[in-house]
Amino acid sequence: MRVSRQVERRTLLKAAGASLASLGVAAAGCGGGSGSSSGGAVTIRYAWWGADDRAKRINETIDLFEKKHPKIKVKTDFQPYEDFWKKFNTQAAGGNPPDVIQNAVTFLRKYGGRNVLMDLKPQVQSGELSTEGFRSGLEKFAEIDGKLLGLPVASNSMAYIIDEKVYEKAGVTPEFGWTWDDWLAGMERIRSRTGVAGETGPHSIMYYYDLVLRQKGKAFFTEDGLGFSKSDLETEWAEAVKRIKSGLYTDPKKVEQIKPKSATAAGLSAGEFTWDNFTVRYDSEGKSSYGIAPIPTTDGSKTGQYLGSLMLSGTARTKHPKEVATFINFMVHDPEVGRIMGYDRGVLATTKQFEAFEPTDKVSKQISEYEKQIAEKGVLETITPHPAGADVIEAAFLRVATEVSLDKASPGEAVEKFFSEAETAFTANS
């Protein structure tokens, strides 16, 4: 589903901000859209981002769809992540977006607020689209301001990926309910017993900081702004600088040098926060054994976690809302689609697809078991939909935090810069 926490964040980082302001009312309402092919068959356009392997799987699912729905043809387009959003911005601004797109929570309010995305609720009410059978409340993931702007195809959650051999050598055993104090003590023990930094350095990851805030009753975002203060963030970044200097966090210069490879896979750290479905990259990049550890907590119980998801969204300008609904419904519910896609985009979102796919490899089994565990533990909460401009703000967070890591700005200077850029982003997208 994603390549790496740094590369994927950077991609999430740059993409849809610059040209979106041009969308405005030009993207609203009904109008252009897909035409019909010969023989009376309707043609819809479906666009997504990803690599060749995902394209191969998706094309296989489309072949299956067209066999079962011969009067609906699907024209496909896929791009690398950043190129996808640049192209989509251009298409939407010109009034000719694809009928269906792969989407992410960062962009829901941005495009939903400009009426680029289709409200799927009428299709649910007409019976053309089902919101039944989703795992852990995922059917509500894309509900924004009373509209249903997408349906999830898969889920993931933040996790802590560890080098199991390093943890075993240091005698540290993460367990559900361990606290941040336990985590810090574990890093210190790892550093002293193995010489490996305990952590890559999570302070540039927006979703890690969101967990920290949610455990304290706050969140990174509210519905229309930031959910924390300057002093909150300065405290976080000042502590990160101390841990870098003490060797508990990996030398940031080394982290930059090995990108896009993960620091944990490279043996530079014992663990790092990332999405659980990224686990697949560690076995392919590294030479150790890697596992998914629970998120540390403030009080021993509240982790602040939620299920994130990629989703399928229709666009408001489509001439074929019924066919769009039929396509999305098939892609999120059909068991054979689940067997074909596997965990390419995360753990399958609907029960039918989840049960249809039986993972055989170690990594997929780990991911599946982890999501079962956090659901059973009852720690999952509801994500706050990101406000418009969230993608630009996430980019700023990563960039400014990296400047702190590399000693190019003090924590106080960096916080002022970040809040200023966030205010600009909110203003530009209001």
In this prediction, residue 416 carries a pLDDT of 98
With the C-alpha atoms ordered 139, 346, 429, 114, is the resulting torsion angle positive or negative?
negative
Residue 31 has pLDDT above 50, yes or no: no
Residue 10 has pLDDT above 80, yes or no: no
Q: What is the pLDDT of residues 180-228, one digit of tens each?
A: 999 999 999 999 999 999 999 999 999 999 999 999 999 999 988 999 9
In this prediction, residue 245 carries a pLDDT of 97
In this prediction, residue 22 carries a pLDDT of 39
φ/ψ of 362, rounded to 5, equals: -60, -45
C-alpha 98/C-alpha 102 separation (Å) is: 10
C-alpha 357/C-alpha 338 separation (Å) is: 6
Residue 104 has pLDDT above 80, yes or no: yes
> What value does the mean pLDDT take over residues 55-76?
97
> What value does the mean pLDDT take over residues 12-41?
43
> What value does the mean pLDDT take over residues 169-184?
97
Residue 77 has pLDDT above 60, yes or no: yes
158-305+386-428: CATH topology: D-Maltodextrin-Binding Protein; domain 2 (3.40.190)
Domains 13-155+308-357 and 158-305+386-428 share a fold: yes
φ/ψ of 321, rounded to 5, equals: -60, -35
For residue 362, what pLDDT band results from cuts at 50, 70 and 90? confident
- Homologous superfamily in CATH for domain 13-155+308-357: Periplasmic binding protein-like II (3.40.190.10)
For residue 425, what pLDDT band results from cuts at 50, 70 and 90? very high
In this prediction, residue 39 carries a pLDDT of 55
For residue 26, what pLDDT band results from cuts at 50, 70 and 90? very low
Q: Which residue type, as a one-letter code, is found at position 384?
A: T
In this prediction, residue 202 carries a pLDDT of 97
> What value does the mean pLDDT take over residues 119-128?
96
In this prediction, residue 344 carries a pLDDT of 87
> What value does the mean pLDDT take over residues 303-330?
95
Residue 1 has pLDDT above 90, yes or no: no
> What value does the mean pLDDT take over residues 147-173?
96
> What value does the mean pLDDT take over residues 4-22?
39
In this prediction, residue 209 carries a pLDDT of 97
Contacts of 246 (CB under 8 A, 6+ apart): none
Domain boundaries defined on the chain: 13-155+308-357, 158-305+386-428
> What value does the mean pLDDT take over residues 132-144?
90
Contact 319, 231 (CB under 8 A): no
> What value does the mean pLDDT take over residues 61-76?
97
Residue 66 has pLDDT above 90, yes or no: yes
Q: What is the pLDDT of residues 249-258, one digit of tens each?
A: 999 999 999 9
Q: What is the pLDDT of residues 253-278, one digit of tens each?
A: 999 999 989 999 999 999 999 999 88
